[in-house]
């Protein structure tokens, strides 16, 4: 992933006093939390805790009632989805969203939108700027397809692929432009044990090659422990606790909320 858009160290993402309401229902209530710069954070919590809502708020997909979102020094609260993406905040979806009738290749290439794009006229009439952009984009896509083991499927239509591969295409579309803030919503859902381990290895490698501030929503405790150096726990729209995996998974409140019991009680 050579052609990165952002330069410099990955930013910290600060969420201050964030409240998201759907009608009278609070999906998130006064959440203040930071995603530490340049690390892979795990976002955990039971179903309906507000994990996806938090990613939506950071990426601009949901209107927020109160609070602010900062990426580094920049207040992005007022920016739309597209402006945030161009500023380096890119998310994957819990529900895989692909161009169903198109190839894996095109599904990944669409993610290169953040690279410098020649004008529509240059593209349409295949002017030299288009060829340079094309080479840049295809090189980045080839690299990420290799990383995720999708290369041999590059020209298959995504609607022909098994679910697990489709999930990886969703991840590849996010990774291809090397965003500085990466938000992944249950990227390992639907993968088997081996696949989950491999995905964790790939994400670690991506992160080593191109440092970013990454958040991964994930239910599997072991996977979070392998992948993440930081964990944030939510429950029923409220912030529960954050810190190292050992600290968070050892937390009594987290165990109660997340496993419905405190550790050792069922012995």
Ligand X SMILES: Nc1ncnc2c1ncn2[C@@H]1O[C@H](COP(=O)(O)OP(=O)(O)OP(=O)(O)O)[C@@H](O)[C@H]1O
> Applying CB under 5 A, which part among 14-22, 87-95, 191-199, 208-216 lies near Mg ion?
87-95
For 82, other C-beta atoms within 10 Å of its C-beta total: 10
Q: Count of residues binding another protein (CB under 8 A)? A: 66
User: Exactly one of 7, 8, 24, 47 binds ligand X (CB under 6 A); which one?
Assistant: 47
Report 126-155 residues binding another protein (CB under 8 A).
126, 130, 133-134, 137-139, 141-142, 145-146, 148-155
* In the complex, least distance from residue 53 CB atom to ligand X, rounded to whole angstroms: 3
* In the complex, least distance from residue 177 CB atom to another protein, rounded to whole angstroms: 7
Binding mask 92-131 for another protein (x = CB under 8 A): xx---xxxxxxx-xx--xxxxxx--x--x--xxxx---x-
Distance of alpha carbon 208 from alpha carbon 216, whole angstroms: 16
Report 43-72 residues binding another protein (CB under 8 A).
59, 61
- CA proximity to 51, closest of 207, 230, 188, 236: 236
Is there binding between residue 50 and ligand X (CB under 6 A)?
Answer: yes
Kind of pairing, strands 89-91 and 181-185? parallel
* 68 strand-pairing partners: 16
Closest CB to another protein among residues 172, 228: 172
* Ranges of H-type helices in the chain: 51-59, 81-86, 104-109, 120-124, 128-147, 163-175, 193-209, 221-227, 245-250, 252-259
Q: Which residues lie below 8 Å from residue 13, measured CB to CB, with a gap of 6+? A: 34, 35, 58, 69, 70, 71, 89, 181, 213
Distance of alpha carbon 188 from alpha carbon 6, whole angstroms: 27
Q: What is the DSSP string of 38-52?
A: TSEEEEE-STTSSHH
User: Exactly one of 52, 56, 62, 177 binds Mg ion (CB under 5 A); which one?
Assistant: 52
* In the complex, least distance from residue 67 CB atom to another protein, rounded to whole angstroms: 21
* Residue 100 contact partner, candidates another protein, ligand X, Mg ion, none, CB within 5 to 8 A by sort of partner: another protein
Report 164-193 residues binding another protein (CB under 8 A).
164-165, 168, 173-174, 177, 191-192
Residues that bind Mg ion (CB under 5 A): 51-52, 94
Residues that bind ligand X (CB under 6 A): 22, 25, 27, 45, 47-53, 94
């Amino acid at each position: 992933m050579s052609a990165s858009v952002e330069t410099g160290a990955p930013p910290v993402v600060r969420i201050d006093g964030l409240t998201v309401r759907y009608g009278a229902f609070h999906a998130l209530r006064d959440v203040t939390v930071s995603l530490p710069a340049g690390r892979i954070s795990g976002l955990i919590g039971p179903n309906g805790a507000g994990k996806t809502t938090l990613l939506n708020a950071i990426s601009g997909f949901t209107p927020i009632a109160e609070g602010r979102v900062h990426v580094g020094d920049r207040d992005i609260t007022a920016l739309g989805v597209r402006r945030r993406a161009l500023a380096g905040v890119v998310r994957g979806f819990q529900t895989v969203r692909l161009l169903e009738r198109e190839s894996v290749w095109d599904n990944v290439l669409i993610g290169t939108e953040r690279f410098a794009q020649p004008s529509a006229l240059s593209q349409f009439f295949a002017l030299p700027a288009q060829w340079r952009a094309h080479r840049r984009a295809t090189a980045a896509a080839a690299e990420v397809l290799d990383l995720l083991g999708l290369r041999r499927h590059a020209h298959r239509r995504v609607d022909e692929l098994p679910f697990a591969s489709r999930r990886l295409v969703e991840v590849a579309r996010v990774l291809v432009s090397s965003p500085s803030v990466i938000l992944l919503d249950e990227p390992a859902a639907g993968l088997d044990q081996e696949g989950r381990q491999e995905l964790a290895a790939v994400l670690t490698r991506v992160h080593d090659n191109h440092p970013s501030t990454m958040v991964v929503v994930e239910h599997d405790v072991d996977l979070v422990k392998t992948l993440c150096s930081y964990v944030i726990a939510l429950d029923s729209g409220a912030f529960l606790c954050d810190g190292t995996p050992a600290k968070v998974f050892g937390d009594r409140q987290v165990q109660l909320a997340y496993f419905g019991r405190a550790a050792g009680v069922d012995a």
